[in-house]
Amino acid sequence: MKAAVLVFPGSNCDRDLKRAFEQVGFSVDMVWHKDTNLPDGVDLVGVPGGFSYGDYLRCGAIAAQSPISGALKSHAARGGYVFGVCNGFQILTETQLLPGALLQNMSTRYICKPVGLRVENTDSAFTSAYAQGAVITVPIAHHEGNYQADPETLARLNGEGRVAFRYVENPNGAVEDIAGILSENRRILGMMPHPERAAEPLHGGTDGAALFAGLAQALVAA
């Protein structure tokens, strides 16, 4: 099982994500944003949190145009798995691999705290190790986590069971409490909360670990 974690100038959760992937058995390559290719045979690409390109223009906008972005899109088009966390989620919406956009938090403040998430759909490699409706605690750390999409997109996401996680108590104004969404083929997940920061006892919580375990299980079976 091979994973790659993309590294942009300003990424700061890249090594956390690498470690979370490694803990469940992936061999992980770090891939610099100026590269134009992913290593051969990569099953999963992680797009980490942080402040890629200093959040200039819009969060994720410049990263979405960086050289590695083309390889990311081809990987997704081949049906490869992609996992975007926080700034990674913002990058996935800017590349249009996921619909909608992430706006500034309603409070205009940066929020860093553990939040409750409800697992809305277990029909994906990312969520299969959770029980439907389970409430887990995972930290958020963002200023632009307010997910918005037009009514047609929301209807599709809901109708196709593509909302993976919702906030139990909405911290940022996200429409319909949405915290994470899946792509049409269910192989791309973008979420604002950080499961890689709740994956080992030392983190103070391990509710995020099942996400990585589920991914590993799905890819071993494949």
Contact track, other proteins, 3-42, x by CB under 8 A: ----------------------------------------
Torsion sign (Cα): 175, 9, 112, 129:
positive
58 in contact with other proteins (CB under 8 A): yes
Size of the site for other proteins (CB under 8 A): 20
148 in contact with other proteins (CB under 8 A): yes
Task: For other proteins, give the closer residue by CB, 11 or 105.
Answer: 105
100 in contact with other proteins (CB under 8 A): yes
Q: Would you give the DSSP letter of residue 154?
A: H
> Which stretch, 22-30, 76-84, 130-138, 142-150, contacts other proteins (CB under 8 A)?
142-150
Q: For tokens 């990424």, what's the residue?
A: 11
> Which stretch, 103-111, 123-131, 185-193, 208-216, contacts other proteins (CB under 8 A)?
103-111
Catalytic residues: 86, 194, 196
Task: For other proteins, give the closer residue by CB, 67 or 133.
Answer: 67
Residue 22 Cβ vs other proteins, minimum distance, rounded to whole Å? 34
217 in contact with other proteins (CB under 8 A): no
148 — phi, psi (to 5°)? -135, 145
Q: How far apart (Å, rounded) are the C-alpha atoms in residues 133 and 136?
A: 9
Is-contact 47 82, C-beta < 8 A? yes
Contacts of 100 (CB under 8 A, 6+ apart): 93, 147, 148, 149, 153, 181
Q: Would you give the DSSP letter of residue 168?
A: S
In Å, what is the CA distance from 161 to each residue of 57, 117, 123, 201, 204?
32, 16, 8, 31, 30
Helix (H, G, I), strand (E, B) or coil at 147: strand
Query: Which residues contribute to the site for other proteins (CB under 8 A)?
Result: 57-58, 61, 65, 93-94, 99-101, 103-108, 146, 148-150, 173
